[in-house]
A = this chain, B = another copy of it.
Amino acid sequence: MTTITITYRIETAGSIEAMAAKIASDQSTGTFVAVPGETEELKARVAARVIAIRPLSDAAHPSWPELRAGDGQIKRADVDIAFPLDAVGTDLSALMTIAVGGVFSIRGMSGIRVVDMKLPQAFKGVYPGPQFGMAGSRRLTGVVGRPMIGTIVKPALGLRPDETAELVGELIGSGVDFIKDDEKLMSPAYSPLKERIAAIMPRLLDHEQKTGKKVMYAFGISAIDPDEMMRNHDLVLQAGGNCAVININSIGMGAMAFLRKRSGLVLHAHRNGWDVLTRHPGIGFDFKVWQQFWRLLGVDQFQINGIGVKYWEPDESFVESFDAVTTPLFDPSDCALPVAGSGQWGGQAPETYRRTGRTTDLLYLCGGGIVSHPGGPAAGVRAVTQAWEAAVADIPLDIYAKDHPELAASLEKFGSGKGE
């Protein structure tokens, strides 16, 4: 029987076996009392089944603080549950409802985290996946043999379109490959997307005509109404743009499916809000699971933090995320381009390179690390490029900086924790 297999990390003061069986029952045929019609034949067709239990060390403290003193030892285990494909189908909202979302309500656990999901081949080809991904991003930016280097217009909020365009003009001149709106900037009254596009795009196109280099600019097109988001999308496309920032968690999976079906733009995903689903290690989702949904739906470029970020996320988690988005689900074309960002300035290049399989297939995104370089943005871009050259050549940054003054200036300003 073809199945979807989900691995849950569960913790309970009760029986792990009983809890695993309860999840399988609750999330398929069961309810709180036996009902007529839940026959053995029906169960055989659609019931989820526990196929493996791998005990883990006890928890020192319950993840959800629902247990009372004296509730005893908190047992943990990884539990594999197989859902018949026939019971779920290939619809991602059904999969989310049945096998993922529903489990967090179950009583008697003090934590549950969805740590793996194995989809059968039946899902292959059902969803469009990324339209551009790594290859398309390289083709559109013309960057080969090194990471694409990107920056973010800052301050995040408050600039009017002409002020933004002024900054963008400076950034274009810096040699950067990619520029984006901060994810918080969409279409507020002081900077309507239409006006921002009108102010920015001529500069990008002018630069392309003069130099042959087209800087990829990701406009914040997210809107709660998918029709409006599509109008935003069309404005960018009609003006000659090729990329958009999508706040995937804020718009949700359905709106992403809607957009991807109609999209001509590279879809750059910002996952703001995701942290609440993953930050507690005993609760929620591993990114490895969650990103599968979004890649199937069509994310081209996936922001996944980076080494030494300004946020809570530990480096190890970034490394796992990088591995996740670059591991094919069914085909190499379904991978997303990893986007390393947050507090980046080049100093993290050697460790990023070393820990992600010595690849330069990424978009390396620096906000303040480029625009606040003492020599200005162009020097900032050169510094980041130099840091990556050093990383690939296995030359320590401080050595490479001796005859690369822009990198030296970055080390001076952002190094040794000064970037924080």
Output the least CB separation between A134 and chain B (Å). 25
B residues less than 8 Å from A222 (CB atoms): 93-94, 97
User: Does A175 sit within 8 A of B, measured CB to CB?
Assistant: no
User: Does A258 sit within 8 A of B, measured CB to CB?
Assistant: yes
Contact code string A121-156 (vs B, CB < 8 Å = 1, else 0): 000000000000000000000000000000010111
B residues less than 8 Å from A91 (CB atoms): 186-187, 223-224
User: Does A15 sit within 8 A of B, measured CB to CB?
Assistant: no
Choose one: B38, B63, B257, B258; the contact of A280 (CB below 8 Å).
B63
Choose one: B32, B102, B251, B369; the contact of A420 (CB below 8 Å).
B32
Among A233-241, A306-314, A381-389, the stretch that binds chain B is A306-314
Given contacts A343-B32, A371-B36, contact A184 B251 (CB under 8 A): no
User: Does A391 sit within 8 A of B, measured CB to CB?
Assistant: no
Bound: A154/B280 CA distance, A: 34
B residues less than 8 Å from A189 (CB atoms): 86, 89
B residues less than 8 Å from A313 (CB atoms): 105
Judge whether B37 and A184 touch: CB under 8 Å: no
Given contacts A97-B272, A105-B311, A283-B280, contact A38 B154 (CB under 8 A): yes
User: Does A206 sit within 8 A of B, measured CB to CB?
Assistant: no
Judge whether A224 and B93 touch: CB under 8 Å: yes
Contact code string A142-184 (vs B, CB < 8 Å = 1, else 0): 0000000000101111110001000100000000000000011
Bound: A282/B281 CA distance, A: 14
Bound: A239/B399 CA distance, A: 75
User: Does A348 sit within 8 A of B, measured CB to CB?
Assistant: no
Choose one: B42, B104, B257; the contact of A224 (CB below 8 Å).
B257
Choose one: B42, B261, B312; the contact of A105 (CB below 8 Å).
B312
Q: How many residues on the A side are at the interface (Cβ–Cβ under 8 A)? A: 103
Given contacts A86-B190, A371-B36, contact A253 B253 (CB under 8 A): no
User: Does A64 sit within 8 A of B, measured CB to CB?
Assistant: yes
Contact code string A43-66 (vs B, CB < 8 Å = 1, else 0): 101110000000000000101111
Contact code string A251-285 (vs B, CB < 8 Å = 1, else 0): 11111111001000000000011111101110111
Choose one: B254, B277, B371; the contact of A251 (CB below 8 Å).
B254
Contact code string A86-106 (vs B, CB < 8 Å = 1, else 0): 111101111011101110111
Judge whether B250 and A190 touch: CB under 8 Å: no
Among A22-30, A197-205, A322-330, A355-363, the stretch that binds chain B is A22-30
Judge whether A158 and B65 touch: CB under 8 Å: no
Judge whether A159 and B42 touch: CB under 8 Å: yes
Residue among A36, A66, A250 having the largest count of chain B Cβ atoms under 10 Å: A250
User: Does A73 sit within 8 A of B, measured CB to CB?
Assistant: no
User: Does A393 sit within 8 A of B, measured CB to CB?
Assistant: no
User: Does A375 sit within 8 A of B, measured CB to CB?
Assistant: no
Output the least CB separation between A184 and chain B (Å). 5
The chain B residue sitting closest to A371, CB to CB, is B35
Judge whether A97 and B273 touch: CB under 8 Å: yes
Judge whether B188 and A224 touch: CB under 8 Å: no
Residue among A34, A102, A285 having the largest count of chain B Cβ atoms under 10 Å: A102
Judge whether B253 and A251 touch: CB under 8 Å: yes
Output the least CB separation between A122 and chain B (Å). 10
Judge whether A156 and B254 touch: CB under 8 Å: no
The chain B residue sitting closest to A277, CB to CB, is B276
B residues less than 8 Å from A338 (CB atoms): none
Judge whether A275 and B310 touch: CB under 8 Å: no
User: Does A243 sit within 8 A of B, measured CB to CB?
Assistant: no
B residues less than 8 Å from A163 (CB atoms): 37
Output the least CB separation between A302 and chain B (Å). 15
Supplied contacts A32-B367, A32-B368, 10 more A-B pairs, CB within 8 Å: A93-B224, A93-B250, A97-B273, A100-B273, A101-B250, A102-B184, A224-B254, A224-B257, A225-B258, A226-B254
Residue contacts A-B, CB under 8 angstroms, 10 given: A28-B158, A32-B419, A33-B369, A34-B368, A36-B371, A37-B155, A45-B190, A96-B247, A98-B157, A104-B276
